[in-house]
Amino acid sequence: TAGLTTNAPHGRDDLLGGLLPAGMDRRSCRSWYESWRYYKYFPYAASPYLQRKLRAYEARHRRCAPGTPLYAKSLEQLRSGRSADGMECTYVVWLPFDGLGNRMLSMVSGFLYALLTERIFLAALPPDSADLFCEPFPGTTWRLPVDHDFPIKDLVPQGQHIDKSYTRLLDAKVVGPDANATAGVPAYVYLSMGWQLKDPLFFCGEHQLVLAKVNWLLLYSDLYFAQSLYAVAEFQDELRRLFPAKESVSHLLSRYLFHPTNPVWSLTTRYYRTYLASAKRRIGVQIRMFSYGSIPADDMYAQILSCSRQEHILPETDGGGGGASDNGVLATRSDDNGDGSNSTAILVASLYADYYERLRSRYYEHAAKGGETVAVFQPSHEERQATDNLAHNQRALAEIYLLSFSEELLISGRSTFGYVSSNLAGVRPTILLTAYGHKVPEPPCRRAVSMEPCNLTPPLGVECRGKPVDKEDLARHLRVCEDSNDSVKFF
């Protein structure tokens, strides 16, 4: 099909070079076998070690998943109120928190933690997310059945201050070195790992030893925290073996874990084929405005253009008034043979129609330099976030994937929606800086050092075994994020 390319040998197959397991039913999850046709880059292959680890994980998941005797046993243990030693199956349960991008990032982080600790990763998917992702592990389920029999009532917390979160249980001497041994280890513990990071001690090896005794961990997070797992000495060697390139962690794990369901995949591929496939190159532009960094649309648009000029992203236009008689049209006739060989498609993702309309007018009223033909598209403008609505989330996911099929990405700072698109794409995006204090930032944007998402709340200043987390060791693989001074990312 026109516009579908593959660029690297290890990605040129429908199981992404051994990243994905065989055995998924083709009809029930089309994206599983088709996504490789749409991605433009395959910058990292899954190491043989990662492949073995994933296959072993999938086998363990099948043994321990809901519906198995071992799961029934673990559920019984949960009901008893205490954790038991030597349980074959232990769990990390992912709980929904914030929008889709945040959720995808915390899922990747939680799954990585499950891989490192040999736990089973289960997702408590709410109805608004029921039909977004295919089951990622063939022959089993990752859904936690939360029916009236489930022993924990009100499973999803109301806020980040959680009674049964690790640090609070530690302070209350319910867990940890000072806990009363005869009372036993509780059956479950919450990990309050959202942007307020109430449980930063999670990133200490000595606390991981305590958590290892808890059969059920409930992860409440909206963060990408894989970087901080490197701070745990006990995990470091394994992480190095799994991901020889640190920049590949979220890229590989998100391509592994996320496969849009058929309804989402239909939205995505229909749009792609209709508007994007025939272009020679696609530029994804994702515009998100947070209330703390809001600026007038004129200023935002000016920021986009000045960033684009700085980083050479969007096609420049001929200075003059444009119009049908200007050179661009003649040049188009000679350079572009009508087969899209000199054409650019700009895909805009935003809650608002504003930036799309301005960009579309720009290329309508002015010819692009060099005879390039430029078309601008926006699949939806939802006006407001509606995370509790499945159809809204399906459109959001389709747009995340459409962005991820771009050759180049211009995304908004501090937006996990853009982070996920870039790491699925395997692209180091250009990041528009946030207008803190409502002041247009200067420079307008920065080119990202890596495709890894930023951890917006790293455990800064946390002490493990009485000492600060080894800063030098962290510094070797971490950078301050382009878009957030007190946040870190891999490079």
SS3 (DSSP) at 474:
helix
Contact call for residue 131 and ligand GDP (CB under 6 A):
no
> Which residue number places its CB atom closest to ligand GDP?
99
Contact call for residue 423 and ligand GDP (CB under 6 A):
no
CB 202 within 8 A of CB 109: no
CA atoms within 13 A on the CB side of 325: 1
Q: How far is the CB of 387 from ligand GDP (least distance, A)?
A: 5
Q: How far is the CB of 30 from ligand GDP (least distance, A)?
A: 21
The residue whose two tokens read 């301050």 is 480
List the one residue from 13, 58, 98, 335 that touches ligand GDP (CB under 6 A): 98
Contact call for residue 429 and ligand GDP (CB under 6 A):
no
Q: Which 59-88 positions form the footprint of ligand GDP (CB under 6 A)?
A: none
Who contacts 289 (Cβ-Cβ below 8 Å, separation ≥6)?
Answer: 295, 300, 412
Q: How far is the CB of 67 from ligand GDP (least distance, A)?
A: 30
Listed ranges 128-136, 183-191, 334-342, 393-401: which one lies at the site for ligand GDP (CB under 6 A)? 393-401
Contact call for residue 455 and ligand GDP (CB under 6 A):
no
Q: What does the block give as tokens for 46? A: 């899954």
Contact call for residue 417 and ligand GDP (CB under 6 A):
yes
Measure the CA–CA gap between 208 and 210, rounded to whole angstroms.
5
Who contacts 308 (Cβ-Cβ below 8 Å, separation ≥6)?
Answer: 314, 410
Contact call for residue 406 and ligand GDP (CB under 6 A):
no
List the one residue from 318, 380, 440, 480 that touches ligand GDP (CB under 6 A): 380
Q: How far is the CB of 354 from ligand GDP (least distance, A)?
A: 12
Q: What does the block give as tokens for 342? A: 């000199």
List the one residue from 95, 120, 349, 425 that touches ligand GDP (CB under 6 A): 349
Contact call for residue 395 and ligand GDP (CB under 6 A):
yes
SS3 (DSSP) at 240:
helix
Q: How far is the CB of 409 from ligand GDP (least distance, A)?
A: 13
Contact call for residue 350 and ligand GDP (CB under 6 A):
yes
Nearer to ligand GDP, 156 or 475 (CB): 156
Nearer to ligand GDP, 311 or 382 (CB): 382
CA torsion through residues 218, 220, 223, 229, sign: negative
Return the beta strands (E) in 213-293 as ranges. Answer: 216-220, 281-287
List the one residue from 11, 43, 101, 322 that touches ligand GDP (CB under 6 A): 101
Measure the CA–CA gap between 452 and 487, rounded to whole angstroms.
13
Nearer to ligand GDP, 213 or 392 (CB): 392
Greatest alpha-carbon pair distance for the chain in Å reads 87
Q: What does the block give as tokens for 317? A: 């236009």
Listed ranges 99-107, 204-212, 314-322, 335-343: which one lies at the site for ligand GDP (CB under 6 A)? 99-107
Q: What is the dihedral of CA 191, 195, 201, 203, to 10 degrees?
A: 90
Burial of 42 (0-12, 13-18, 19+ CB in 10 A): buried
Site of interaction with ligand GDP (CB under 6 A): 98-102, 286, 288, 349-351, 380, 382, 385, 387, 392, 395-396, 399, 415-417
